[in-house]
Structure 1
Amino acid sequence: MTLRLNSYDEWSPLREVILGSATNYISHERELSWDLFFHDHITRFYYPRVSTPDSSTRSVEQAPIKQRYIEELVEDLDGMAKALESLGVAVHRPLELDTSTAEISTLAWSAAVVPPLNVRDNTLVLGDEIIETPPMIRSRYFETQFLTPIFADYFRRGARWTVMPRPLMTDASFDPSYANSSQGGPTEPVKYPTPSPYDVGFEMMIDGAQCLRLGEDLIVNVSTENHKLGCDWLENHLAGRFRIHRVHRLSDSHIDSMVLALRPGTLLVRSPAVADYLPEALRKWDLIVPPPPKSNNFPTYDTDDLVLTSPFIDLNVLSVSPDTVLVNDACPELMNCLERHGFTVVPVRHRHRRIFGGGFHCFTLDTVREGGPENYLS
């Protein structure tokens, strides 16, 4: 039976979770919104870019994903579901993408559809409220609709259910300043958006995975004007219930492969330098900095395979309780490091995280944890 929605932090005992689906994942659609979102990674790990310096001629291309990778991801997700269930966690799965749903269209653009795999991204659960966040990738515009039956069930049980304003997402909606100023590989600046009759300037776009939940405090990564507008909305909407703390350009967008809270007083971070970006109260917490990942932790891919994440993706772990963590079984260095710090590690297979752009935290949306709106920063 589904419990009432209740999730305030990243570590309290987990009771219910939504786990994403990879069914009918076919390809990545390369266009402006996708290239901007994955800019830091595709400029370092993939060449060539498909776009040109004059974005009026910017093309849309499909980057096919090999069927073997998709089948193995589906297997790994099923294995993750079994691991969670063995720990007493109820696992909910979204609707699957039907093969007949090939494209979505709005006033301003059309895009292919991808399945609801990284369900953390487009939803923020804060206490008893579901907040659907405004997407940053066009192909994911309606992704939360795959979760509608689950959200409706929580709503019937008393949850609040809010949808943030949806962006028009013309080319002019995107702030390219981070992509244009960041260090990377072979890429071109994004300076000339294709005009549209629906241009309204920069719009709010922000993902739930840009937020670190700490009881009544929320750490939000802001790297673009789009993020700033989304954070402004969250501050207004949550006033009196949660405190917002902005960190600036900790990453391009998501922060859950940069920093995760494993329990009160303990952070898992990519490097000690992460602390410099955090609020002063968080700098007093213990930092676990695991050894750098080794190349043999990852599959070997062909030159035409599009790699979406850095090798640090496996820091994207999922806490089941303050002392139990799900970790990719391909990462013995990370597992040993966490065990030395007193955690029980549950190894789970996840092979193609760099192809699909997500780890265990990305693939899940925790809806019921035992914790409450505590103050962990005073």
Structure 2
Amino acid sequence: MQLNSFDEWSPLKEVIVGSAENYTSHERELSFDLFFHDNIAKDNSSRSEWYYPRLTAAADGGPGAGAASGSGSGSGRKSIKQRYVDELNEDLDGIVKTLESLSVTVHRPMSVDAATARVETPAWAASVVPPLNVRDNTLILGDEIIETPPMIRSRYFETQFLTGIFNDYFRRGARWTVMPRPLMTDASFDLDYARTSTVGGPTEPIADPRPSPYDVGFEMMFDGAQCLRLGRDLVVNISTANHAMACDWLERHLEGRFRIHRVHRLSDSHIDSMVLALRPGTLLVRSEQVAEKLPEALRKWDLIVPPPAEGNNFPRYDDDDLILTSPFIDLNVLSVAPDTVLVNEACPELARTLERRGFTVVPVRHRHRRLFGGGFHCFTLDTVREGGPEDYLD
């Protein structure tokens, strides 16, 4: 089928589900800690609260080409226990089977080869992350694939694992655009959000960025998961100068086709565990306070605020396991149709709330969502839905 995806809820026909093959570690460096800093600072029992990692010199003494490393005890590569990866792969297979049972065609990206350990650019090197949270680095708008400028160094080439799928859609008529790729030196990152929003502030001083011959100042860095797609309207979360530059690019690129509505600091980056549109006129929101930051037209929609969990719905983890997402990650549901939603089977309170509002809930297992930074919405990239460029905010 031809690429067609304008919203978050219309009947789903085709989707990409991510892969976790050969996921071995997280690399604690500047871009990683900036992206996950809220939860690294708050939710991990053994941590350096917040630190300023540096780009090391290359092995031959040249500047800027070495691995990113940190000055605090939390720096460096953080191994992931294999049993978690095995169970994640089991759960991903379960998501695929569930979607196929609902008559959705599922595509899978190429897996990271075990021999591919690192990525390098002229400015830095980092470990490779598999294409698991495929929502992040691609924005599907109607018949266009837009690869967004990555926010984490280790994910710089992640969309290349989706190239075969994108090629097929391009051959069938899709537009395919790549936003400008950032150099991602230390000086590329706007640190203001991290400096001002972490409760209590950083416990270690944030020094000036280390100079690099490739410094150009702030650059575009932005994820597709910062956007809420509503037909011809796009709600975009802006928390840094990096996000704002990317949104400027989107506004110019999409002029006349889509309307962009900016919200500011709704979260540090992604908004799909803060607010999701389940159908026209209905939002799933973390809290009413979140809804107050949305555009006025959306504040008139019906709000579903799920009750707190009655028990601990998450697995127990060791002190050396790195927690990357908030306890609200299970709001990250996936709509298969305006009346059908995939929900984590570990969240009966959310399921009952949605059922009372007329939704059919499809329970699916996903155990380690706090370790791998994503839920059902994050793990999937919907490429074909029945909806079009409707006006939902007029």
| TM-score, normalization by structure 2 | 0.93
Cα distance change of structure 1 residues 320 and 232 upon mapping to structure 2, 3 Å threshold: same
1:77-136 deviation digits (Å, cap 9, x = unpaired): 000000000000000000000011111110100000010000000000000000000000
Q: Is the counterpart of residue 28 in structure 1 residue 44 in structure 2?
A: no
Provide the rounded CA distance (Å) in 2 between the counterparts of 1:272 and 1:142: 37
Tell me which protein shows more helix as a share of its residues. 1
Provide the rounded CA distance (Å) in 2 between the counterparts of 1:221 and 1:27: 28
Contact 2:137 2:224 in 1 (8 A): yes
Partner of residue 49, structure 1: 48
Superposition CA RMSD, Å? 1.4
Contact 2:37 2:50 in 1 (8 A): no
- What SS class does the counterpart of residue 328 from structure 2 fall into? helix
Mean Cα deviation higher: 187-196 or 361-370: 187-196
Contact 1:55 1:190 in 2 (8 A): no
Contact 1:43 1:187 in 2 (8 A): no
Partner of residue 38, structure 2: 40
Provide the rounded CA distance (Å) in 2 between the counterparts of 1:196 and 1:49: 25
Provide the rounded CA distance (Å) in 1 between the counterparts of 2:261 and 2:123: 34
Amino acid at match of 1:16: E
Provide the rounded CA distance (Å) in 1 between the counterparts of 2:225 and 2:359: 23
Counterparts of 1:299-318 in structure 2 under 5 Å?
A: 299-318=315-334
Shift of 1:295: 4.5
Cα distance change of structure 1 residues 52 and 377 upon mapping to structure 2, 3 Å threshold: closer
1:196-247 deviation digits (Å, cap 9, x = unpaired): 0100000000000000000000000000000000000000000000000000
Partner of residue 228, structure 1: 244
Unaligned runs of 5+ in 2: 56-68
Counterparts of 1:40-189 in structure 2 under 5 Å?
A: 40-46=38-44, 47-49=46-48, 52=51, 55=54, 58-59=70-71, 60-184=75-199, 187-189=203-205
Unaligned runs of 5+ in 1: none
- What SS class does the counterpart of residue 296 from structure 1 fall into? coil
1:307-337 deviation digits (Å, cap 9, x = unpaired): 0011000000000000000000000000000
Counterparts of 1:5-24 in structure 2 under 5 Å?
A: 5-24=3-22
Total equivalences in the alignment: 376
Provide the rounded CA distance (Å) in 2 between the counterparts of 1:312 and 1:269: 10
Q: Is the counterpart of residue 285 in structure 1 residue 301 in structure 2?
A: yes
Partner of residue 275, structure 1: 291
Give me the identity figure in percent: 76
Contact 1:51 1:58 in 2 (8 A): no
Counterparts of 1:192-211 in structure 2 under 5 Å?
A: 192-211=208-227
Provide the rounded CA distance (Å) in 2 between the counterparts of 1:219 and 1:12: 17
